[in-house]
Structure 1
Amino acid sequence: MRFTREEIESAQRTVRAAMPPTPQYAWPLLSQRLGATVWAKHENHTPAGAFKIRGGLTYFETLAREHPGVRHAISATRGNHGQSVGFAARRHGLGATIVVPHGNSTEKNAAMRALGVTLIEHGDDFQAASEHAAALAERDGLHRVPSFHRELVRGVSTAYVEFFEALSTEPPDVLFVPIGLGSGFAAAAAARAHCGVSTKLIGVVSAHATAYRDSFRAGKPVESPVTTRLADGMACRTPVPESVEVMLREADDVVTVTDDEIAQAMRILFSDTHNVAEGAGAAALAAALQQQERWRGKTVGVCVSGGNVDSGMFAGVLAA
């Protein structure tokens, strides 16, 4: 997925009208722990607590310009994409309906409602919620916002452009990127091309939701069951073919991390940086810890992609 320089710069203007760049820090304790220079990109510091907000901003800016008659949008999510849709829809005066599976994060649900969305619970996983959203869009004539789309990727790429530009004098040797449906990974690849760096990109998936790792190994989209209890932002059963194509072309590797490894990374992020990360937000660090011998003495980037974890769950992780 390629973007022109003007497309990236336009996305930067759209995103910066709503939020400042997020920071990237080389935390001393993290670097000491991994035996490498470790830069953390803090997408948990956005107004919606996750990287997804960037894609919503560019998607709705384009939607309002190209389809001014749209008054209501609908989408499915486990949380962060829904907040992105709600945040951006409200900026453009549009209504938004979000479908989530039963048992979704109560605090993510509350955050979406606070943004003015109509929340509907349906199905046992994201795929069921997504199919219901599609049916409602057809029935009620609503604009359906997909979970993976070129405009979403264009917005999210601004996060990684910020990261690579901030480290332009010493680009990281590797960047670990969590994969849910793949917009974040595709965005990192687009930013790498835009900035002209040679950083290796390693995708990270849950060991309990391996569709994208399995697809990477098979060279084509492969479905896989989802059993993760902690990494809801990575709970993908059915991969997006276009996203898989990007991953096959751009990834140096795709690795898996268990819920236990993610929980350890959540604790480490809190102890070493005093940052709260949700499961998917800690997955990149979990992978870097898993591979620390490979990258010892190098410069490592990890994306803390979100911090929207229910307080009860986080308390349980910290207490373990």
Structure 2
Amino acid sequence: MQLPTLPEIEAAQSIVYRAMPPTPQYSWPLLNQRLSAGASGNGPIEAWIKHENHSPVGAFKIRGALVYAAWLRENHPNLTTVVAATRGNHGQGVAFAAHNYGLRTVIVVPHGNSKEKNLAMQAQGAELIEHGSDFQASLEFARDLASSPANSGTHAFVESFHPRLVMGTATYALEFFRGVPPLDIIYVPIGLGSSICGVSAVRNALGLKTEIVGVVASQSPSYALSFAQHQIVEAPSRTQIADGLACRIPNRLAMEIIWDNVARIIEVSDEEIAHAMRACYHDTHNLAEGAAAAALAGALREGVQSAGKRIGIVLTGANIDSDLFTSILGSSL
């Protein structure tokens, strides 16, 4: 898969901005102090946070969904329904975008999915189906539903990784790289890969030297293992607080881009993610769901390596159940 070009990303921005404004990027003094303390006196760290938690659905996924829906509407005039599988943020984005384009939305989630994310998707107009014990099972069911003979021509499956999604997510990266001073390193969480591929596209299109570092949950290590072994490696996904990183089988198209563009992938534990969630709230008063806090957890892990540098941290979303966040905020995991 070819990464989107700068004109393509700028065209995608015009689609996104019909539905939402750009999200902000800030450097927070308390967070800089925390990160610099972890650098063991080897130089201060200046961190800039990209606040995708400020989007209309509380996550970056809305961007790719809007670009994907515009493409579907233009190329499939008989389309009435979109079908997607998700743990939450992708589904909210798809439902929001589908509503904007007059389409019905069916979302498949695994059993035991976040209650608050389920309610948020339904509030966006999605019809919810629970199927399977993990995301992979939901994905396979949703794909079969969309492609069944009875739905031929009227239903479309919205992939969780697709060139149009990458084009859409790249719009936040373009805002970020153009809105802050030059970054030495950027930390990006990896779920299925559209976010880090969008960051790679913009870094390359602008001719920047920024080092891209992917972050995954150590309890969901498939992308880290695949990166290290340079082949697709399936691995169990057991993270308890970062459902957006819960991927059992990496996407090959995403991995090919990651192999070519990412400096390294680091693993962070659920305990480190929980600590980063508390740090984000304490230092910036922003909510970060588990997957979103992984980037900060990675930056905290690599404190010495980032000493004296300017770094970017992508806060991909804020959609965490209140009970879980309360327990994490109030105590160690």
Q: Same fold (TM over 0.5)?
A: yes
Cα distance between partner residues in 2 of 1:121 and 1:231: 19
Alignment partner of 1:112 is 2:145: no
Cα distance between partner residues in 2 of 1:71 and 1:176: 38
Local SS of the residue matching 1:268 = helix
Identity %, equivalent residues: 49
Shift of 1:193: 1.5
Q: For the Cα contact (< 8 Å) 1:192–1:198, is it kept in 2?
A: yes
RMSD over aligned Cα atoms: 0.8
- Equivalent of 2:270 in 255, 259, 270: 259
Q: For the Cα contact (< 8 Å) 2:24–2:51, is it kept in 1?
A: yes
Amino acid in the other structure paired with 1:150: P
- Equivalent of 2:325 in 295, 314, 318: 314
The residue that corresponds to 2:98 in the other structure is 89
Residue pairs, 1:159-178, within 5 angstroms: 159-167=172-180, 170-178=181-189
The residue that corresponds to 1:7 in the other structure is 8
CA deviations over 1:91-141 (Å, ceiling 9, x no partner): 000001000000101000000000111000011100000011012112242
Local SS of the residue matching 1:217 = helix
The residue that corresponds to 1:33 in the other structure is 34
Residue pairs, 1:39-58, within 5 angstroms: 39-58=48-67
Amino acid in the other structure paired with 1:304: L
Alignment partner of 1:295 is 2:306: yes
- Equivalent of 1:157 in 167, 170, 178: 170
Aligned residue pair count? 318
Amino acid in the other structure paired with 1:34: L
The residue that corresponds to 1:243 in the other structure is 254
The residue that corresponds to 1:21 in the other structure is 22
Local SS of the residue matching 1:224 = coil
CA deviations over 1:164-184 (Å, ceiling 9, x no partner): 0012xx311000000000000
CA deviations over 1:222-257 (Å, ceiling 9, x no partner): 110011000000000011100000110001000001
Residue pairs, 1:64-83, within 5 angstroms: 64-83=73-92
Shift of 1:318: 0.5
Q: Runs of 4+ in structure 1 displaced over 4 angstroms?
A: none
Amino acid in the other structure paired with 1:12: Q
Local SS of the residue matching 2:160 = coil
Alignment partner of 1:180 is 2:191: yes
The residue that corresponds to 2:292 in the other structure is 281
What TM-score comes out, normalization by structure 2 length? 0.94
Residue ranges of structure 1 left out of the alignment (5+ in a row): none
Q: For the Cα contact (< 8 Å) 1:161–1:194, is it kept in 2?
A: no
Shift of 1:220: 1.4
Shift of 1:4: 2.6
The residue that corresponds to 1:144 in the other structure is 157
CA deviations over 1:24-44 (Å, ceiling 9, x no partner): 101000111111001000000
